Amino acid sequence: MTLHRANDNYISKTESLKTKFASRIGDAIGWGNLVGGILFGTYMLLDPQITTFMEYPVPFGMILLGLLSLWVSKQRGSETVRPHVYLLNYMLFPLILLYFIEDAATTIWSLTFLYLLMAMALQSRRMLLYSFISSMVGLSILMMTAPKQLTVLLGIEDHIIRMILFSIAGIIGLIVLYSIKDKEKLLFHYIHKAEETAYLDPFLKIPNRFDFNLYVDHKLKSSQLLLWKLELNQFQSVYDVLGHKRTDELLLMVKQRLEAKMSGDTYLAKGEGSTFLGATSNFEADELDSNLKQILRYLVAPYDLFGHDYQLNFNIGAALSGPDGDSSDELMRHAQFALDQAKLDGINQIVFSSDKLKSSTMNQVQISEALYQANLDSEFHVVYQPQIELKTNQIVGVEALIRWTHPQMGMISPGVFIEIAEKNGFIVPLGKWILEKACWEVQMLSDSIGRPLKLAVNVSFIQIRQDGFVEEILQILKKIGFQPDRLEIELTERSLFENRPEDLAKIDALRAKGIRIAIDDFGTGYSSFGILAKVQVDKIKVPRDFIENVDSNQNSQRIVTTIASMADRFQLTCLAEGIERLEESNFLHQLICQEVQGYYYAKPAVINQVEKWLSMPREKIISTISSEAADPVLE
């Protein structure tokens, strides 16, 4: 595991100044030796008489050492060699002094003192040690070669005292430096631990999304990236079946498979929930799709968990830096939209964030903002689509459907904006507004025709999750005087499936008050039968997907017949939606299907239009509708 965050070092400004300063000193000594060596050599050449045989190697040594230290200081990663070269430099200094200065011995001590101070300032144990050794070596050489020079200004006992004092200072210096380094180590250890907690997934031991974002932003400066987001489908049900520990084990296996199959240039991280994130650099554009497909194929092979085989499904959304953005934020957003699209397409799908997707993303952002700024009373209104009882041909109720006319963008379909309103939370105030408005208008209509009309209202799962959802509905009904048993709440399978037990309890609470519950678009979600086991409902609505051409399509016939007889078994009302043709309607007459709804009978219309229809015989409504066929919605 490598954390991107850990690559950032925590060296403070003073610390990096110190390092710079130390290497500048090395450079200065190098240059000093080089220039000194050249000057010294020239001097010797010009005045050969004063030169003895012993002196010749000195200028060469200086030049060589100078070059060596300058070369070393230019090398990257030469941290281990550099101190040794500096040591040679230090040692050479006292030797050179011997040839130039009379009182070399005194100067050696002054130099040692200077080195000692520098070593302490730079907190360098090596420098401390080396400067001391070099002084000792210089003194020893002096002692052997020119004992007289040693005692020009200082007596031998002065040297001994200095040696003792400097040794004590050196040892104290070393102890201080060791304790500083020790504390530093401890500090780094804690920083590292804190970093791990903040930037690492505790169980999978791979970076989390915070580290991933830092990595992506850093990497984007130098290379193009493919950012992909992989999601394990139906994680909640996997979790429900396997429990916490086994789900963790399973995620670990997924991680191992990902690591085994992805290219070496991919940075893998754990996203929120059951998602993994990958950032791939150095790729061939035309191989991207096949590479991801290969990973996916490997991931969907069965997982052996405690002796059982588990088959998992995934989806991948991918975005490319450049066309899809130049920051982790933008890329993540596009990868998420691509992933959403992949999920809509089915299971084990890979979707790349294309331009089309991008423009729809832009659109989504626009719509999301427009929703927040919308004026409910002036931009929104409710239309009603009659629901007809097949046996009597009577309009027994209406379904409320929301309409939005934006001042600039014009009519926006609920099929588009409801999902966005669910994402940005606007569905909560909007849903309340719809319920209140619809109850009010239908109550007025019922009063005016003198017959209680049923009202069906679509409710989003986001609304159910709100605290006080049940109380709010009951309050609205009470305020308007709308009888609870005339209200039907339409929920989609998805909303029922994704809800927690406490939310399903709210549905029970509504039923206890007499409010009816219908499952909208039955059979199009994840687990139609599963829902019936989870919660008690009153009605199922067969969607247009199955009704379309039901008179001629045998598969649709089988599906619709099965759903209708199942509804009968469960003693639920069955309503067929989206009937557009007489033939479709005729087929339904043969089944146990109590209610129908569709353009063939009546399109969604404003409440005044519904009132007119209510006073007409059904045949008249149908002929009215057919004559207005060009207009998709009667409003």
5 is a site residue for ligand C2E (CB under 6 A)? no
Helix (H, G, I), strand (E, B) or coil at 31: helix
CB of 456 to Mg ion, least distance (A): 7
520 is a site residue for ligand C2E (CB under 6 A)? yes
Binding part of the chain for ligand C2E, among 46-54, 77-85, 293-301, 407-415 by CB under 6 A, reads 407-415
**Helices 501-512 and 469-480, packing angle to 10 deg:** 20
CB of 492 to Mg ion, least distance (A): 8
418 is a site residue for ligand C2E (CB under 6 A)? yes
128 vs 540, beta carbon nearer ligand C2E: 540
| 512's tokens | 């206890």
62 vs 540, beta carbon nearer ligand C2E: 540
328 is a site residue for ligand C2E (CB under 6 A)? no
426 vs 546, beta carbon nearer Mg ion: 546
- Letters for 538-577 (x = contact with ligand C2E by CB under 6 A, - = none) are ------x---------------------------------
Using CB under 6 A, pick the residue from 91, 578, 596, 634 that binds ligand C2E: 578
How far apart are alpha carbons 3 and 228 in whole angstroms?
Answer: 19
318 vs 401, beta carbon nearer ligand C2E: 401
CB of 526 to Mg ion, least distance (A): 16
Using CB under 6 A, pick the residue from 131, 460, 528, 585 that binds ligand C2E: 460
255 is a site residue for ligand C2E (CB under 6 A)? no
63 vs 418, beta carbon nearer ligand C2E: 418
How far apart are alpha carbons 20 and 141 in whole angstroms?
Answer: 33
Q: List beta partners, residue 278.
A: 228, 268
Choose the contact partner of 384 out of Mg ion, ligand C2E, none; CB within 5 to 8 A by kind. none
414 is a site residue for ligand C2E (CB under 6 A)? yes
**Three state DSSP letters for 559-615:** HHHHHHHHHHHCCCEEEECCCCCHHHHHHHHCCCCCEECCCCCCCCECHHHHHHHHC
CB of 439 to Mg ion, least distance (A): 16
Using CB under 6 A, pick the residue from 268, 401, 473, 537 that binds ligand C2E: 401
Using CB under 6 A, pick the residue from 434, 445, 453, 487 that binds ligand C2E: 434
250 is a site residue for ligand C2E (CB under 6 A)? no
458 vs 609, beta carbon nearer ligand C2E: 458
599 is a site residue for ligand C2E (CB under 6 A)? yes
H or E stretch at 29: helix 13-46
For residues 514 and 485, is the Cβ–Cβ distance under 8 A? yes
For residues 422 and 367, is the Cβ–Cβ distance under 8 A? no
319 vs 434, beta carbon nearer Mg ion: 434
How far apart are alpha carbons 188 and 182 in whole angstroms?
Answer: 10
Q: List beta partners, residue 389.
A: 394, 595
Helix (H, G, I), strand (E, B) or coil at 478: helix
How far apart are alpha carbons 594 and 389 in whole angstroms?
Answer: 6
66 vs 397, beta carbon nearer Mg ion: 397
CB of 442 to ligand C2E, least distance (A): 13
Nearest to 229 by CA among 314, 326, 346: 314
How far apart are alpha carbons 232 and 248 in whole angstroms?
Answer: 13
Using CB under 6 A, pick the residue from 415, 450, 468, 501 that binds ligand C2E: 415
22 vs 427, beta carbon nearer ligand C2E: 427
The alpha-carbon radius of gyration of the chain (Å, integer) is 41
Nearest-5° Cα angle at 395, 614 to 427: 100
Q: What is the largest CA-CA distance in the chain?
A: 135
H or E stretch at 157: helix 156-199
520 vs 595, beta carbon nearer ligand C2E: 520
Pairing of strands 573-576, 539-542: parallel
Choose the contact partner of 493 out of ligand C2E, Mg ion, none; CB within 5 to 8 A by kind. none
CB of 470 to Mg ion, least distance (A): 20
604 is a site residue for ligand C2E (CB under 6 A)? yes
How far apart are alpha carbons 400 and 439 in whole angstroms?
Answer: 9
* Total binding residues toward ligand C2E, as defined by CB under 6 A: 23
Burial of residue 526 (number of CB atoms within 10 Å: 0-12, 13-18, 19+)? middle
Q: Which residues of 527-561 are buried (b: 16+ CB within 10 A; e: fewer)?
A: ebeebbeebebbbbbbbbebbeebbeeeebbebbb
Using CB under 6 A, pick the residue from 158, 196, 330, 580 that binds ligand C2E: 580
CB of 528 to ligand C2E, least distance (A): 15
Phi-psi category of residue 234: left, alpha or beta, with phi > 0 → left and psi -120 to 50 → alpha: left
Choose the contact partner of 436 out of ligand C2E, Mg ion, none; CB within 5 to 8 A by kind. none
Choose the contact partner of 544 out of ligand C2E, Mg ion, none; CB within 5 to 8 A by kind. ligand C2E
Q: Which residues contact 297 (CB under 8 A, 6 or more apart)?
A: none
Choose the contact partner of 401 out of Mg ion, ligand C2E, none; CB within 5 to 8 A by kind. ligand C2E
415 vs 468, beta carbon nearer ligand C2E: 415
Q: List beta partners, residue 207.
A: 200
Residue numbers 475-504 binding ligand C2E by CB under 6 A: 490
| 540's tokens | 């199922």
For residue 317, give the amino acid letter. G
340 vs 521, beta carbon nearer ligand C2E: 521
CB of 360 to ligand C2E, least distance (A): 17
CB of 460 to ligand C2E, least distance (A): 4
Q: DSSP code of 484?
A: G
Cα dihedral 487, 493, 497, 500 in deg (nearest 10): -10
For binding to Mg ion (CB under 5 A), which residues are involved? 458, 490, 520-521
68 vs 540, beta carbon nearer ligand C2E: 540
CB of 617 to ligand C2E, least distance (A): 20
Q: Report residue 553: phi and psi, to 5°.
A: -90, 115
CB of 357 to ligand C2E, least distance (A): 21
374 is a site residue for ligand C2E (CB under 6 A)? no
Choose the contact partner of 322 out of ligand C2E, Mg ion, none; CB within 5 to 8 A by kind. none
Nearest to 498 by CA among 531, 542, 529, 541: 531
Choose the contact partner of 338 out of ligand C2E, Mg ion, none; CB within 5 to 8 A by kind. none
Cα dihedral 258, 262, 265, 266 in deg (nearest 10): -40
Q: Which residues make up the interface to ligand C2E (CB under 6 A)?
A: 385, 400-402, 413-415, 418, 431, 434, 458-460, 490, 520-521, 544, 578-580, 598-599, 604
